[in-house]
Structure 1
């Protein structure tokens, strides 16, 4: 594939990975690339291998073939905690915040200082991004609404000051207004130069947000390209994403 679409230096390179659970293979030579400072997407119907791709990148389910590089270094044989410490943060599907810790405790539990940003993420900055969390900072995780929990999960990932932020179904099951708030947050992060990989199904909302898109079906890449190409081919969305 030509690099014409990708003038930016690669932060994440997934190169022809093969991943299986036991004897059941899920990913078949899957490749994608996220440039530094870029917002990229991974799109496809449920069960097509999106979360397995994320698990392979994070070292949670090891790829049996191919390679994963992060900031120029092979990471596909590294332990998950080592990968996370390199500056890769995920907002997992289902949020997974600590129910019996307060908002503030959830945020500071993961805080890490990295030189990823000239202006590191702090409690104050997260509260400025999500004023609702500031209002709820003493509330326990289990006292928050779904939308507030999602904001907390994003804030918690940002507190690690990651080079790459991965959002796995970040707006799944949220009310439309809350979903819009999450999109606005991602726009603000993009403006600050944060590199983001988004897995979601709201293509219309992702077109203006992201620069590059990868569509997968049954563990294989079926299409890659930029927003203008995807915008001009709604039949692709219907075929591979079902929207």
Structure 2
């Protein structure tokens, strides 16, 4: 579904990505791992068309999307839950959820307000509350729901559990596990390696803007030294 090869990208004159490669198949959950500052979020921004791509290929559902604007990438079926949440603070929960809702891929079981409320009951309770007044965990649930309301073919979660209380992290991981069971393709960036090992089918590790390793969950679980070298603190 998504194939990235030899991706190079920059902010202004500063090159950040030098040779990134990754792939996600239909219905797969994949991760992008690495320490802070290694280029994970920049890779997501390059896929979404939100930073300058210097070279390489980005193919989604058989179409070259390298250099496409973010709106075009989203319309093709990529839903993003960005780092730092970024809910629309002055809109209510309900308004956030419907603001970008669509079913361009004509799914037979589309995400609706009711489905999102079933997954995150707290959002139903706060449907008429402005997003800027929600707790951090509630805002994260909201932006996940907002992305699902676009009925994406690929869902990207960039640090979706960062800075959240353990009980909220657990709720979000249950959501991700449920989405996987439904066959949703997902790209995850997160620091909770233990959970990612159990959830993901495929892993990619970045080091200074280069993909230094790719493999299956079983291969990653079998190589503790690899995790310590590239991901551990």
Q: Which residue of 2 aligns with 1:239?
A: 229
Helix, strand or coil: the match of 2:97?
A: helix
- Work out which of the residue numbers 54, 76, 82 in structure 1 matches 2:72: 82
Aligned partner of 1:190 in structure 2 is 180
Is 1:20 equivalent to 2:10 in the alignment?
Answer: yes
In the alignment, the residues of structure 2 paired with residue 137 and residue 234 of structure 1 have an alpha-carbon distance, to the nearest angstrom, of 44
Task: Return the offset for 1:79.
Answer: 1.5
Which position in structure 2 is the counterpart of 1:71? 61
Q: Deviations over 1:96-140 (max 9, x none)?
A: 001111100000001011336330000000001111111111111
Deviations 1:51-76 (A, max 9, x none): 11001000011311011011000001
Query: Are 1:42 and 2:43 counterparts?
Result: no
Unaligned ranges ≥5, structure 1:
1-10
Give per-residue Cα distances to partners, 1:153-192, cap 9 Å, x unaligned. Answer: 0000000000000000000000111101100000001111
Q: Separation in 2 of the partners of 1:179 and 1:159?
A: 21
The alpha carbon displacement at 1:142 in A equals: 1.5
Report if the CA contact (8 A) 1:213-1:225 is conserved.
yes
- For 1:152 and 1:114, locate their aligned partners in 2 and report how far apart those are by CA, in whole Å: 21
Cα distance in 2 between the residues matched to 1:117 and 1:167:
21
CA contact (8 A) 1:163 1:195 kept: yes
What TM-score does the superposition give when structure 2 sets the normalisation length? 0.97
Q: Is the 8 A contact 2:11 2:52 kept in 1?
A: no
1:236 shift after superposition: 1.5
- Answer yes or no: is the 8 Å Cα contact 1:69–1:76 preserved in 2: yes
Q: Distance in 1 between matches of 2:47 and 2:132?
A: 29
Mapped contact 1:90–1:167 kept (Cα < 8 A): yes
Deviation digits for residues 27-72 of structure 1 (CA, Å, limit 9, x no counterpart):
1121100101000000001100001100100001131101101100
Give the one of 114, 132, 136 matched to 1:124. Answer: 114
1:13–1:34 Cα contact (<8 Å) kept: yes
Residue 145 of structure 2: aligned partner: 155
Q: 1:99 aligns with which of 59, 78, 89?
A: 89
Pick the aligned partner of 1:60 from 50, 56, 60: 50
Contact 2:10 2:53 in 1 (8 A): yes
Q: List alignment gaps of at least 5 residues for structure 2.
A: none
What is the alpha-carbon root mean square deviation over aligned residues? 1.0
